[in-house]
């Protein structure tokens, strides 16, 4: 069993994020996902709340704002304000996860 970190920088990969997360969880691994830049657009994907239920998820609040959303008053379904995070969260994932992917 391992911690798998996933760094999401593209808006095209929600199916991969879900597929990998579900498969990793089914094998007993913990999954931590951090969305940045255009990846934060996926916070509006219909599957995003489900992802938040099965993985530890955070997004870059600054990126989310740059994508046109309000990080204080429009927190994505599935997240709380503490999960509206900074790039430091990516550093934490690199520290904490034995396995790492970018999607």
Partner 1 sequence: MKILNVYRSEPSETTKKLVEIVSEGRDSDSFDLNTDSPDYDALVDKVMAADQTICWW
Partner 2 sequence: MPKKVMFLLDKSDDEKNTLDALRSTLGLSVANHYAYSVVMNHTLGKFDDYNAENLEWIRDMEGEVYSTEQANVDTNTLTATTLEEVGQKLREMDVIVPYGN
Interacting stretch for partner 2, rule CB under 8 A, among 15-23, 46-54, 72-80, 82-90? 82-90
Q: Give the C-alpha separation, 62 to 69, whole Å.
A: 10
- Asked if 47 is part of the footprint of partner 2 (rule: CB under 8 A), the reply reads no
| Neighbouring residues of 89: CB distance < 8 A, sequence distance ≥ 6 | 34, 58, 60
Interacting stretch for partner 2, rule CB under 8 A, among 2-10, 18-26, 47-55, 74-82? 2-10
- Asked if 4 is part of the footprint of partner 1 (rule: CB under 8 A), the reply reads yes
Phi, psi of 86 (to 5 degrees): -125, 180
Q: Which of 3, 9, 29, 83 binds partner 2 (CB under 8 A)?
A: 9
The C-alpha R_g of the chain, in whole angstroms, comes to: 12
Q: How far is the CB of 20 from partner 1 (least distance, A)?
A: 5
């Amino acid at each position: 069993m391992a911690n798998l970190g996933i760094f999401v920088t593209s808006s095209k990969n929600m199916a991969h994020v879900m597929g990998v997360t579900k498969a990793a969880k089914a094998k007993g691994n913990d999954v931590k996902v951090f969305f940045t830049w255009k990846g934060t657009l996926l916070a509006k994907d219909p599957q995003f709340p489900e992802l938040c239920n099965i993985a530890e998820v955070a997004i870059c609040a600054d990126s989310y704002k740059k994508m046109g959303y309000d990080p204080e008053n429009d927190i994505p379904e599935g997240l709380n304000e503490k999960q509206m995070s900074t790039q430091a969260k990516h550093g934490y994932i690199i520290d904490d996860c034995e396995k790492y992917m970018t999607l």
